[in-house]
A and B are shown apart, each in its own frame.
Chain A
Amino acid sequence: MTATESIKIEKPPKGASIPAKKGIKKAILGIFKKALETESLDALIIPVKVPETESYAWVLLKDTALLENADPLPPVMTIQGGKVLSDLTKHGKINKNIAAVLRPCETRAAVELFKLKQLHFENISLISIDCPGAIPLSEYLAEPEKSEKSFGNVLDKWDGDDSVREICKTCYRFSLPTLTNAPASDLHIGLSGNTKDDVVLIPVTSKGEKILEKLDLKPESSLQKWETKIKEIKKIKSQRRKEFNHDFKTNISGPEKFTAVFDGCINCHNCQSVCPICYCQQCYFDSATTKLSSEDYFRRAKERGALRFPLDTMLFHLGRMSHMALSCVSCGACEDGLPHVHFRISGLQPRRRADPASIQLYPGNK
């Protein structure tokens, strides 16, 4: 049984092509509208632009009017979608038939959370979408209009325009996974490689096939063009990731460099609270255990010669690394959540995840 509890169908040979004369997003939303109207789906969970503001929020909706402001691929990743699904289903399966529209790194987070028993997949269909990256949150908030525009360019160019987040420039898992046996989603929306006049819906599991069936869509179009383009982009991004991994390793090895990388940390723990995988109810580092008596501080200061405050600022990062190493999905939410300081955290984990030879104990290490 696969993570999504559906039967994986063999490598999808064909997809259902949808005309997108009025833009790809409109075309996708049109499909969702039909799915809700025909009750093929009871509800949908999707990012929606909050009226009168520049932010995007996840909304569980049934009312098709709300789809007006929905966006299957918003320019920013506000809250990691895996976290949202976990919130929704942590305490048990849902009885409605819903679909969630997620970026690939969000579907991977959902799968990891499922393995950690933090999420139920029953009755949920995961719909993933080709993702060109996301604009850094801070940049988007500073200049939303400009960011919307540059995101449009990113969608046109597809090979990692400069304006997307660093992690996205090196994200080679931005589409359907082809290297793993476990499907990360049920239905995939292929964007790249198609002319801007169509999008292609690719059934990945039997659940995905059923959705298409209910919508009367037949997967009859060839995926060749899409696959070729995906391969091309993947190659570029994998190469970038390789280079990044190499540089990163050189820049963090040894106690001095490690300290230097994290020196900007202001101990806000934002990286932890936005991470989909950091799911403990109470983190040791937020607990009272970390607060010592002044005598204790003095004793420690004496042992070391001096004592850095707050205690454990660096240990926190090492702790997070050793907790996350096997499950980090390289989504960059941690980095995006940083306040004013800038250091690469999401890069830490994928370096090892990208190197399965180093950790072979985990079947989910994809």
Chain B
Amino acid sequence: MEKAYTPQIIGFLCNWCSYTGADLAGVSRLQIPSSIRVIRLMCSGRIDPLFVTKAIFKGSDGVMMMGCHPGDCHYQKGNYYTRRRYKTIKTVLEVLHLDAERIVLSWVSASEGVKYARVTKEFSNKITGLGPNPLKKEIFL
């Protein structure tokens, strides 16, 4: 029998909110899609656009950027940078027709375990619908 397709999604999570939120989701025994691989960062502001573009170029099926809600960043303005970068990467990928919809930005606080479970599930379903990232097999890219 052919194995069902499970996408591979990279999640860049800020330590103070989203990662704690993810932890809460786990502790609360909420169901989290197995497609998401979490990378913890001290702040979403640490997400260099390169992390995201590299993940996509190297064949990840999706990338989630997650941080504290605006105004809640542990370092005051890290997530404002994130928001600006997200918009930039999105635009660049849109212009280039390189699957911009495989990237998402989400604010998840430490108490939002339920939200974490919901957004990861929604995104995972969306990516499953899109199918594997076609760049995965591009040799010259």
Contact, CB under 8 Å: A253 / B139 = no
Residues of chain B within 8 A of A319, CB atoms compared: 49-50, 53-54
Q: How far is the CA of A303 from the CA of B139 in the complex (A)?
A: 10
Contact, CB under 8 Å: A304 / B139 = yes
The answer to whether A255 and B138 touch (CB under 8 A), given A321-B92, A322-B50, A323-B49, is yes
Q: How far is the CA of A362 from the CA of B83 in the complex (A)?
A: 11
A358 touches B (CB below 8 Å)? yes
Most buried by A among B50, B57, B84, B134: B50
What total count of A-B pairs have CB within 8 Å? 82
**Size class of the contact patch on chain B:** 20 to 34
Q: Which B residues, 50 to 105, have Cβ-Cβ distances below 8 Å to chain A? A: 50, 53-54, 57, 59, 83-85, 87-89, 91-92, 95-98
Contact, CB under 8 Å: B54 / A305 = no
The answer to whether A322 and B53 touch (CB under 8 A), given A314-B140, A314-B141, is yes
CB distance from A171 to the nearest CB of B (A): 20
Residues of chain A within 8 A of B92, CB atoms compared: 318, 321-322, 325, 352
Residue of A nearest to B89 (CB): A322
Contact, CB under 8 Å: A359 / B135 = no
A258 touches B (CB below 8 Å)? yes
Q: How far is the CA of A318 from the CA of B103 in the complex (A)?
A: 15
Main secondary structure on B side of the interface with A? helix
A343 touches B (CB below 8 Å)? no
CB distance from B20 to the nearest CB of A (A): 27
Contact, CB under 8 Å: A361 / B87 = yes
Residue of A nearest to B83 (CB): A361
The answer to whether A358 and B141 touch (CB under 8 A), given A255-B98, A258-B98, A322-B49, is no
Q: How far is the CA of A319 from the CA of B85 in the complex (A)?
A: 12
Q: How far is the CA of A352 from the CA of B92 in the complex (A)?
A: 8
Contact, CB under 8 Å: B57 / A314 = yes
Contact, CB under 8 Å: B141 / A258 = yes
The answer to whether A351 and B95 touch (CB under 8 A), given A319-B50, A322-B53, A361-B87, is yes
Contact, CB under 8 Å: B140 / A305 = no
B137 touches A (CB below 8 Å)? yes
Residues of chain A within 8 A of B98, CB atoms compared: 254-255, 258, 318
Q: How far is the CA of A225 from the CA of B53 in the complex (A)?
A: 49
A-B contact pairs, 22 of them (CB 8 A): A253-B95, A254-B96, A254-B98, A258-B141, A304-B59, A304-B138, A304-B139, A305-B139, A307-B139, A308-B141, A312-B54, A314-B57, A315-B57, A318-B57, A318-B98, A322-B92, A325-B92, A326-B88, A352-B95, A359-B88, A359-B91, A361-B88
